[in-house]
Structure 1
């Protein structure tokens, strides 16, 4: 059995388009696991799962990341700067290089390297639909003690992230001729009071110690059917970036109540969350002092990373595993000094960062569940 090289795997993985269909990428993943002595399974939701160690463990560590990417596919490119002695210039470019095939490569290296101790188990769980609806993560039933989610964090250890909810506020009135506005109820007029309630919605709420304040942002608005008619309906879409302990339903109920109190009694108010087949990515937070956090942070520093502990700036499937202890960690960055990296035409990951992430995850996993 050949030794696993995370950069060589990444060179194979990035050219495989997985923005519209993950089947070919999943086939590569299954083949890679099998070729290194681990027989994976693919469940009905398309998750790829593989485990080593005790079937009834006292401690179970799960590595998770995803294989889907956003459209359009960006071709693979390898720029090798090692010839001039600057290893930091050795980069792999292309869609998924940092989000999240670079983290996947580091996770696989750690998974293959760690030998679970007696009473311990390590699992890799790779989802197919993180960028859209998280149908894979929603179907997972792992019941583990510790989770490490692979995303581009620049080798920082991320212990929290805001959630993202979306919904539509509907204000309803009564249509009438615009020449006789008093004979109707103007739903667009009520938008003024609704927006006032939205601006003040979080007034007086305590900020989260790791994530700061929640945000509430109106994003699109529609209203009225005819230019000579008092509008009977106005619709406003809202984007909510939540912090613990707020849930999607708590947000929906409290927002609707706040707007109801603000608008005239003759205006109808309904706020509904966007319909989706899976739960929203809610906020999560793991105590910075938890063993998982401190172990991964120390391993990152030993491997040449920062080991800094901070929140993650994007929503992740880590929320599906909380309230169990979970951290987000991996090579690559969402953005650099020149602009967006993940989900962008210039997406890249540094090969030295992939190797350092692999070393850090191997070290951390060995300490947490390994036979030392």
Structure 2
């Protein structure tokens, strides 16, 4: 089979696999069936692979321990479908130039495009790097049984290419996330008397400090750290001065502060007691002079800082985020991907890696 005919075959396989994936519900923590579906397909293509929990991965047949390693990674889980769907979210219907359904854009298109590119590149024995393809679970909830569980099993990774809908532009940085539960203590009293120490009033002062607080370091790509109070709760009844007020702070970090550092700065600024739900979802970034960044820019991609979070937050290796589709369609009713976006994505992934060297 010629390279062109093989490329045509794997493109068609990618479109068919995506439709089957859409028709197989795969909510976070419920990816078993779609993982089995993809595994069976890999077996039918003669691709050796492994599975742990609901994560799949395959190493190319020309593995050389002396070469650096590049990881293709995207996710197979989806959010719940919007109630505003007018079409079957699990239909996987092809309407004119679109494939419609839950997870088509985010991130099924990246999964099948990376897999097609992996199949093509695995035939080339003269590469200067090893290649791993992986499809992982629980990305939508930043779960512990997805890429975080898989990475230690893969060995050293020199570069990860995270497949998400970026319109084939290259996200060279991505904001991190930390959610903080804040608690302010007061003293209960009768509202009709001059008694107590109102926890709401004390919390308001802290909330005002958060609104006005500016972190000194601002990223050229991701901008400033963003801290936003998103929930407040206090009081038991109208005539009791509340002795406790809780609020939630949503933190979007910019890569210039570790989440633990941001927590310490805020704790020294606020009266409230702060408890982070997690500090593990840090921001990520890669130097603009990295060979892969230069390669993608030469191919026509625009480098940008992403406000949305992906599995990059759980990776300690250098990484970029790039894939077919448009982030604006993610998690929307009647989610879709253009077929041409998938076909172009396959060709792009091949071009960025064919002949590449660090």
TM range (shorter): 0.7 to 0.9
For 2:205, the equivalent position in structure 1 comes to 193
Shift of 1:329: 0.7
Compared CA separation, residues 116 and 66, structure 1 to 2 (3 A): farther
Compared CA separation, residues 66 and 58, structure 1 to 2 (3 A): same
Query: Aligned residue pairs: how many?
Result: 336
* Partners of 1:109 and 1:358 within 8 A in 2: yes
* Partners of 1:134 and 1:317 within 8 A in 2: no
The one of 259, 276, 281 equivalent to 1:273 is 276
Q: Deviations over 1:296-334 (max 9, x none)?
A: 3434x4xxxxx1111223111112224x32111111111
* Residue 134 in structure 1 maps to residue 143 in structure 2: yes
Once structures 1 and 2 are overlaid, which stretch shifts more, 138-147 or 11-20? 11-20
* Partners of 2:222 and 2:305 within 8 A in 1: yes
* Residue 160 in structure 1 maps to residue 173 in structure 2: yes
* Residue 351 in structure 1 maps to residue 334 in structure 2: no
For 2:157, the equivalent position in structure 1 comes to 144
* Partners of 1:224 and 1:234 within 8 A in 2: yes
For 1:105, the equivalent position in structure 2 comes to 112
SS in 2 for 1:99: helix
Shift of 1:223: 0.8
For 1:222, the equivalent position in structure 2 comes to 233
The correspondence of residues 82-121 of structure 1 with structure 2, limited to 5 A, is: 90-114=97-121, 115-117=124-126, 120-121=129-130
For 2:93, the equivalent position in structure 1 comes to 78
Q: Deviations over 1:222-242 (max 9, x none)?
A: 012222111110001111111
- TM-score computed with the length of structure 1 as normaliser: 0.85
Shift of 1:57: 3.6
Take 1:346 and 1:177, find their aligned partners in 2: how far apart are those partners? 53
Take 1:343 and 1:15, find their aligned partners in 2: how far apart are those partners? 16
Q: CA RMSD in A?
A: 2.1
- TM-score computed with the length of structure 2 as normaliser: 0.88
* Partners of 2:169 and 2:322 within 8 A in 1: yes
Shift of 1:259: 0.6
- Structure 1: which 4+ aligned runs deviate by more than 6 Å? none
* Partners of 1:57 and 1:121 within 8 A in 2: no
SS in 2 for 1:124: strand
* Partners of 1:54 and 1:119 within 8 A in 2: no
Take 2:22 and 2:221, find their aligned partners in 1: how far apart are those partners? 33
SS in 2 for 1:181: coil
For 1:87, the equivalent position in structure 2 comes to none
Shift of 1:33: 2.1
* Partners of 2:280 and 2:314 within 8 A in 1: no
Compared CA separation, residues 145 and 271, structure 1 to 2 (3 A): same
Unaligned stretches of 5+ in structure 2?
83-88
Compared CA separation, residues 11 and 318, structure 1 to 2 (3 A): same
Take 2:275 and 2:118, find their aligned partners in 1: how far apart are those partners? 42
